[in-house]
Chain A
Amino acid sequence: MAQGNYRTNPRSIIELESKHILLSINRDDTSSISSFSFKGFSPEISSVYKFNAINKDASIILEIDNKRDIQRVDLGTLKKTLIREKHHFDIEGSLSGLSYRLFIIQGYEVKASCEKILPIDIQRGDERSLINVEAEDLGEIAWRIEPFDGKSEPILKVNSNQDLEMKQLLETDYGRVLIFQNAFEQMLRILIKADEESEWVKNWHVFFDNEGIETPDIEDDRFDIEEWIDETVITMSKKWKLLTKYKNSK
């Protein structure tokens, strides 16, 4: 069998994390994403190894992608960063399931990048919530989790038809018990096959740590996926008590 030596990150591109980038999304009255804001970098970024060695004239670029279209936003340079307040999206197609990438270039070479930024969601407080909910025209479908390939963060999409009031339903005990538990289970199934290094997965791992839930390890032969999903759903359902809350609210 042919063999070779390969080096990961051969160009030593500095990896930035979401927490270093002050990117947030804004929502309109219907809770749909309407604009984004960029307020520079967090002070922590200066402690990132070799970040301070980047030339201050290096340019900052943000790319927003919905798999159908792409928007490129110039954010100035490290020396003179351009702040963007409620910047409009110029992207064709759905604004749910957007992915954000920021990179810093000298000449044409990328010196530092964050390949998947998890933006702060202002209307929900800075919670970087586990399950993001977005309204979309789903036709005859009430709700669904998408995308499900694990390559990017899955979103709980609810039908945007205003007569259905799906968003409001999710804020009730009835809606939560009907939708949220099943959505949670679906998310776990996607999480199992997702890239452990992606930001949204790391967020879930923090959640598991906080809740005392074993982090899934699918490479371990002894790890039983179905059993883990089952136990996690039962554990969290006991904690959330959604059914009891619904019963008590009647």
Chain B
Amino acid sequence: MAIIQLRRFNDEGMAAFKDYLEATRENERNTNGIRVSFPPLPYDNKLTEILDNNIQLDDSKKFQDRYEMAHYLKRQLGSHFKTNDNFEMWAWIAAIFFEQFIRTIPVKKMVTSRFEHFIPFDYIERNYPDLLSIPRNLNYRHCVMTPSYLIENYEDVWCKYLLKDRMNNMGDPIEHTFSNKAILKSKKLRKVILELYQDKTTFLAKPGCYSSSKESGKSNAGKGGVRRFNLIRDRTKKSYDIEVMDVKTIISKMGKEINTSKWVKQQT
């Protein structure tokens, strides 16, 4: 395959994709990561329908990261580049690039991520509510829709921070960002996070900044890191309105934990 017209799954296609994801994960769980081979679902005329004759995608294209993929889709999709809409199209796009999202190293014995990484969570919630075990919305985990949403709505340097990791890894920055929308709503908070935790060369999160902090001992792991950021931010907000402050001043007022951490020291 190479150049193909833009399609979307029909209801049977969505069901087949869901069934495949469940089947391969079950197999991987029992075999320490051996997949069920992915059937050609996105090319099956019974499971899909053409969405737009004039729009073509190159399904042989290999992307460096989700940032590159999102920009490619933005160029190609035209008026169809609308996120949180047309879930059958986003699931179909996830399916045509499916192999690129498979982990090389199993996590909990599995190399295929959960269904919400490929089929938008909102679609699952509407059509297969029995599958859901987590009470919060996980739409943001979608491997294609969320990168597209981000590049459409947020500053380039922030998108690079979230999306320049490997194609097969959603990454901690996205999980952390979407767990509390305060960061997505505040350009100022995004700038503080980038200032502290972004490697200015790779655009990615600095190694170790998402480590959990240790309750005891002399370890500095997690100190002043992203997992502590919301707590420290809330504490700072009791004394200062960070929305009207510049980034350097915010950091200087965030207290000893941040200011003596390696995330500040690394900047100088």
Contact = CB atoms under 8 A, between A and B. Distances in A.
Interface of A: 11, 13, 59, 61, 65, 67-70, 72, 92-93, 103, 105, 107-110, 113, 115, 139
A103 B185 contact: no
Contact of A67 (B129, B180, B238, B241): B180
B240 A109 contact: yes
Contacts of B136: 68
Contacts of B180: 67-70
A113 B238 contact: yes
A110 B241 CA distance: 7
B197 to A, nearest CB: 20
Given A68-B180, A68-B181, A69-B180, A108 B238 contact: no
Contacts of A70: 180-182, 185
Contact of B240 (A65, A68, A108, A115): A108
Contacts of A113: 238
B243 interface: yes
Contact of B242 (A93, A108, A139): A108
Contacts of A107: 244
Nearest to A115: B238
- A-B complex: 7 closest residue pairs judged by Cβ atoms: A69-B181, A70-B182, A105-B241, A108-B245, A108-B244, A108-B241, A108-B240
A115 B237 CA distance: 10
Given A70-B185, A110-B238, 4 more contacts: A13-B239, A61-B241, A69-B185, A105-B241
Interface of B: 129, 136-137, 179-182, 185, 238-245, 249
B181 A108 contact: no
A109 B185 CA distance: 21
A113 B242 CA distance: 15
B41 to A, nearest CB: 30
B249 A108 contact: yes
Contacts of B240: 108-110
A139 B130 CA distance: 10
Interface-centre pick from A11, A61, A70, A72 (highest chain B CB count, 10 A): A70
A69 B182 CA distance: 5
A68 B136 CA distance: 10
Contact of B239 (A67, A92, A110, A139): A110
Contacts of B129: 139
A157 to B, nearest CB: 12
Interface-centre pick from A67, A72, A92, A108 (highest chain B CB count, 10 A): A108
A109 B239 CA distance: 6
A65 to B, nearest CB: 8
A67 B249 CA distance: 25
Contacts of A59: 241
A161 B82 CA distance: 31
A9 to B, nearest CB: 9
B241 A13 contact: no
Nearest to A105: B241
A68 B181 CA distance: 6
A110 B244 CA distance: 11
A13 B238 contact: yes
A69 B179 CA distance: 9
Contacts of B241: 59, 61, 103, 105, 108-110
Nearest to B241: A105
30 contacts: A11-B239, A13-B238, A13-B239, A59-B241, A61-B241, A65-B182, A67-B180, A68-B179, A68-B180, A68-B181, A69-B180, A69-B181, A69-B185, A70-B182, A70-B185, A72-B243, A92-B181, A93-B137, A105-B244, A107-B244, A108-B240, A108-B242, A108-B245, A108-B249, A109-B239, A109-B240, A110-B238, A110-B239, A110-B241, A115-B238
A168 B238 CA distance: 40
Contacts of A69: 180-182, 185
A93 B140 CA distance: 14
Contacts of B179: 68
A105 B241 CA distance: 7
A91 to B, nearest CB: 8
